[in-house]
Amino acid sequence: MFTENPLRDGLRVGRTLDPTSVVIFGATGDLTARKLVPALFSQAVEGELPPAFNIVGYARRDWSHERFRDWLYQSIKENSRYDPDADGRHVWENFAQHLYYVQGNFNEAEGYCRLDRFLRDLAEEWQMPDNRLYYLAAPPSWFDDIILNIDAANMAHQEGVWRRIVIEKPFGHDLDSAHALNDTVNSVFDEEQVYRIDHYLGKETVQNILVVRFANTIFEPIWNRRYVDHVQISVVEPSGAEDREEFYDEAGVIRDIVQNHLLQLLTLIAMEPPVAYEAGAIRDEKVKVLRAARPIEGAQVAAQTVRGQYTAGTINGERVPGYTELEGIPRDSDTATYAAIKWYVDNWRWQGVPFYLRSGKRLPTRVTEVSIHFKEPPHLLFGQGKDGHLHTNVLALRIQPDEGISLRFESKLPGQGLERRAVTMDFRYGTAFGVVNPPDAYERLLLDAIAGDATLFARRDEIEWAWRLVDPILAEWEGGEHAPPLETYEAGTWGPAGADALLKRDGRRWRRL
């Protein structure tokens, strides 16, 4: 009989979860090593996993259970929030006994039958229900094969127990391929079984967007076109395309970041209050935002988008090569590593308010932030100030790093007269809650999938509406007559000049990150 998890003793215990086997397709890959199993180990230490759980890897390498466990031990030691050697290895040894490996190819039918038999025997051995969470950590080119072979082996449905599947991004390459993949998925799994994951939605501050908006009466009344001048959403990073050149040169910044991360953040900022904190209600409102977003097509692409590609430069004092200097990148590649886009959401709340989105590689720092810039007061009672500017109020939500929220407002300087200065009120998760080592986004999302909570996962129509928005931009960028010029920017700078000009034409400027 599978006994109560001893790691839970004396630790915080969250929601009750069903006994589960997590089956990872592509279990010897980087995602498994850096994110998935370290996340599950951290949750095991904190007593959040089901009392009965197993992790079963499936991949083509000819490994034994022991080889798989040794490899994951090193991965956990390097990537988990907790040391597997703590408490005289008691923590690791308890966790390791639930790690298993089955060898097989993704396009080999017999391998799935072998996996199915192993999982049935494992459930019988541990005297636990044969609930399964399938996780596709394989390259997207294998998604169809894995899903169809799961179906052929009769592994998608079973009376009396549940089956769920988690699918990593990128979900499709464009609208047509996303639609085709959805058709394949839904020919095997019911939509309620499908969890399309975007790890950004598992970050604390992303989830806190809804709390800030809908649990505080001071924000929601001014969260509209009457008070908001514009919104900026930034996802920038100093890293380049190294180690993923082939993928990145095919995807580019639009497919890698804009279609998923940036549009997910846009929907959370712009959505209407849901009728309940439930998956269906929240995802309904997110889809409404995507449907209301004004398409950027034809000549508008040149006017409302900017694309750039980094050249050699300096990051943190180190000289780095340009994008086309990387091994595996064609010297004449026109793949964009930077994008800036001005979008409008044509609904009652946001009509006329521009949303400026930007993302880029090889920028000076790693920051994900949403900033809401409010309008100037209707009457400048105290004048423009010494610098000739009135600093408008800004509410900034920092997603990473140093998760937190800040509010900028005007205050009087001490002394005679009415000299003003912009001041900031800051909230940081680390200092406010004493969180030195916050949970990784995958920890929350994996537990949600095990619990059957799809709130932070994308629904089919949400994925396809996002592709409808970016497809016209991609069509122009990849050979259309209305493509903006591919500007270059030196690594370590804040992107191409056109990005600043995009806001300057509107009398605005990017927030300094």
Q: Which residues are catalytic?
A: 261
What stretches of 122-206 adopt beta strand conformation (E)? Answer: 132-136, 163-167, 194-196
Taking CA atoms, 17 is separated from 127, 132, 456, in Å, by 16, 12, 17
Phi and psi angles of residue 237, each rounded to the nearest 5 degrees, phi first: -155, 150
- For residue 62, the one-letter residue type is D
DSSP β-ladder status, 367-374 and 20-25: unpaired
CB–CB of 27/137 below 8 Å? yes
- Cβ atoms within 10 Å of 246's Cβ, excluding its own: 10
DSSP state string for 11-31: S---S----EEEEEETTTSHH
How far is CA 218 from each of CA 215, 221, 294, 375, rounded to the nearest angstrom?
9, 7, 29, 16
Give me the amino acid identity at 123: A
Helix 460-477 / helix 263-270 crossing angle, nearest 10 deg: 120
Residue 327: other Cβ atoms inside 10 A = 7
Neighbours of 378 (CB within 10 A): 6
Q: Are 256 and 236 in contact, with CB atoms under 8 Å apart?
A: no
